[in-house]
Amino acid sequence: MMTESNIASFDYLIEQFHRLPGIGSKTALRLAYHMISIPQEEALKLADAIAQARQKLHYCRICCNLTDKELCYICTDDKRNAEVICVVEDISDVMALERTGKFNGRYHVLHGVLSPMKGVLPDMLRIKELLARLQDKTVKEIILATNATVEGEATAMYLSKLIKPLGVRVTRLAYGVPVGGDLEYTDEVTLSFAIEGRREL
C-alpha cells in the first residue's frame, strides 16, 4: 500500500479511513494526518460521535426510519396525515423529501431495493413491516418513491402488485424534465415521460 508509514497505530487509522466508501488511499492518509494534527478533544469528537450514534440510533418500530427513540419524530407527529405513506429506499430519501416541505404524510423506509443480481430478495427489505401497516385500513394511499433506476422501478412494480389487491391507492412519483434542466441534455426516456405526463396550463 502506498500510504505505509511504518507506525502501527497511524497505519491502522489510515486503513480504517480507507475502508469508508469513496475514500481512496490518499484521502485516507490526509484524513488520518488531519486527525493527529488537530487538538485532541476535536479529534475525539468524531470517535465519540461514531460510538454515540451506534449506541443510540436504531430503526423506528413503525416506519423503519432512523431514530433515537422507540418511534421516530414523524410517526409520533399527530399533525402528519396517517392516511398516506411514502415508501422510500433509504433514510437519506426521507431527508430529501422532508426538505421539500411538500409532503405531510408518513414514510416507510425499505432499506434497499430488490436486486436479484446482488442477492437482495423481498424478505431482506422492510416489506413485511409495510404490509402490517395496511392491516387496520387507516392508510388510503401508498406513494412509491423508490429511485428512478431499473432496480427502483422493479421494486415499485413488485410492491404495487402486493398492495393494489388490498384496496389501497398506489401512486408513483412523476417523471419529467428536472427543474433548471436543459431539454437538449435530457435523455430521451425522461423526455418521453415528460411529454406523456404534460399538464394543462
Question: Rounded to the nearest whole angstrom, what is the least distance from the CB of residue 194 to a copy of itself in the complex?
Answer: 26
User: Can you tell me which residue has the cell 396517517?
Assistant: 82
- Closest by CA to 156, choosing from 130, 133, 182, 138, is 130
Mask for 11-50, x = binds a copy of itself (CB under 8 A): -xx-xxx-xxxx----x-xxxxxxxx---x-xxxxxxxxx
User: Can you tell me which residue has the cell 490518499?
Assistant: 26
Question: Rounded to the nearest whole angstrom, what is the least distance from the CB of residue 178 to a copy of itself in the complex?
Answer: 17
Q: Is the dihedral of CA 64, 169, 156, 145 positive or negative?
A: negative
Considering only residues 86 to 115 of the shown chain, the ones binding a copy of itself according to CB under 8 A are 90-92, 95, 98-99
The residues, ordered by sequence, that sit 6+ positions from 121 with a Cβ below 8 Å of its Cβ are 114
Nearer to a copy of itself, 68 or 83 (CB): 68
Q: Is 124 in the site for a copy of itself (CB under 8 A)?
A: no
Q: Residue 128 region, left (φ>0) first, then alpha (ψ -120 to 50), else beta?
A: alpha
Residues near a copy of itself (CB under 8 A): 2-10, 12-13, 15-17, 19-22, 27, 29-36, 40, 42-54, 56-57, 66-68, 72-73, 90-92, 95, 98-99
